[in-house]
Structure 1
């Protein structure tokens, strides 16, 4: 019986001894590698002192070593830490050019065991993957950045139930994803947005992320969205940030007042070709701090670097300023207009219609006049996108859907002589012709275009209604329209009518004179239309619900 027991233990002992020997080799390599750190941290890891000063911090107090953070430790070793003050004599030097993946993995195993009290065992292949992830970073870490990374690593993800859909198409701006079928869907269990699901795609794809988040404190939350190419951030069904169009990495930030509780978030993104990036962060009130909601962070922030602002202002008091550039939430031929009274708009010459209104400061042209000229950024607030897209359509029945953009399907596959994949592209609509715009004495533009047999002029006059920022839009339609021609006024907000004012969302209302409006349900949205007859002139008065806040 004893002989049988001994024989049965032999395989277990044989398996245990090689494992122990291998562990000893890893720890010994880690101990030898740590000799590179002794000059500052000391043999015992408590830091070398020089009088009242200390060369480096004690490793026994390191939250990075005490916790389960091998990725962060790899980042520290690879890039080092910047010396920002006199707290320590020496900066932590980057070792990525000195240590290989096996040495870094062994160093982490040794230091977490000796100084952290709980050994961590990253594999060299893990270190290699992290090395690739941090490869584009060219400078040491700031302590504040590392503290933020540690906080995020020890805090549950801000986003929950993160889902994604991948779409295929060739676009110059974000399409209506709700009308398309995803080629692939999935979830992101780590709670962070990522372009990894589309890693194998060369270009011409879109991604839509849906998620939920809960905040404990009501207040102002500052969101920053960086993307290459176009993107949009939608919270509780309302667009908060538009960063649309084809452009290099560009960051757009916006403040949103949110109530405590549960909220929904959607991020839309598309990539045409070339470089790609998507990064999202939020800064909240009180102790909330800054949270990254994406796996991509510093690389995107660096690529989407901001320049010294160049705010655009009118040459003379009482005049408007007209600025043509790539602008978010509009196609390439966008025209921004800043009016007296701090009311502004973007008019889209590609679809011959108002793209959106906003108020406050007008435009920062720094991104347009620096780098690759990625386009200007609206500086104001309270942006409302009402009914972007082609303004007129013939509807034989009110059950017909509105077609906001002119699109065509073509077969396209990059670097393929005989493509079979069908994608959607934007094309010029044959019923429309842009005729330019003319400035009056105050430099207020009047936009002019043709629609079928009609000649249309579109003019805006700023002012106040009941002491609140407003702008009046006059659309004059000359010619004999086809039967059942409609002008689309809005597809946003509740569309509820109170005292003649239609709620179009974003704390904005519109009153329509010159036609009896029709409200209908289309594509899951409420939509307000105006029928067009011969000699119709539509007057649309847009008014925010409250005065502009500083």
Structure 2
């Protein structure tokens, strides 16, 4: 199975799980299984054969819980190092989760998958949300660590001396038979390339001691390009040769005595980017600990492939990630027949509508990650922006009076068509869109606790085609069961609500 197919399957699986309704009981494991497992794996190992970052023994879960809370609240984009590997994916904000659910799921992951961190309380989430309430963009790793740094770890490598060799080798040489070009003490407490001037055709040997917390067996994991060998306590533990598959962790175990044990790491670089990563774990170590510094000259990654998520059968396709033209908290829905929408879960409305192909999963699911993804079609209509609802006691609408809008999640039918649930003021709304030959229909089921009017913004601009019809972008017709009027925010329809349950239909058709 090729990588693109694996990633495509992961995207589809992620869409199914993210589409589950919010849970009534705050069960961290259930929330994780519904919202996180498709990307981070059932055991926190990182899904897609390492395509997605792991949570198992992740340093990002260590120490203060606020770092993880902020990721769930605002998302994370750009390069990030997790357990010695660089990822460049985009994690969208998890706006569908409330404070109690965020606390529950973080408590679960911080106490499972080899993590041994304290529980997270709802009070902590509330405080973190308030602290960053003005943040409008996702975090980057550097910005997050500047605000919430990792706990300081005691150095386990001691008295490390580094020898640098110049030469061109096809395999790991016997460095004991070669004179080094430079010898110096390692000052960073890690096996580091910071003081290596060469970018290719060189070798390095580090020698010193590693301090084991207990008399026990310890596991070492190594990834190298081109070749490397690790020896601890006089035993060769793990090695990697240039002829072996790149990007794979090599694993070895060795019994160590408590305290200092001799350690030697050998490495050679022929051509290409420098890549050497070594980590260890075992008794007395709370999580996998990286022993190497980040190397210079990372290999360039190829551009993101197109992973076309356009549905090919009767089921809808879902895309929960950053989409160009809408908010960061949005769900893309590709319906069979070439009708597609982007529903903002922040504003609780469809903000984009397009026909033709749906969207590509390549940018956010194959190691690039930054920015937003464009629909695969150029035939995109932008409908609204901002909260598109107002509640009025009479037909006169005050557009300055912004109601409280609360997103409550969504559920799927057998064809994976979502029904969104949200609240606008005192009215609770169930919204489901159904595609047809000319476009789609929005079905609104509104339960109100009193008689009122609900103004629904349809589009920021357009031209009226009658009292109940609007033409948007000269190609999309919007019709309502009620009259359409022009207001300061654009064109809207005014829906009269009676106490109890009300139903309305909005039609969208392409000319």
Normalising to structure 1: TM-score of the pair? 0.36
TM-score for the superposition, normalised by structure 2: 0.38
Larger Rg: 1
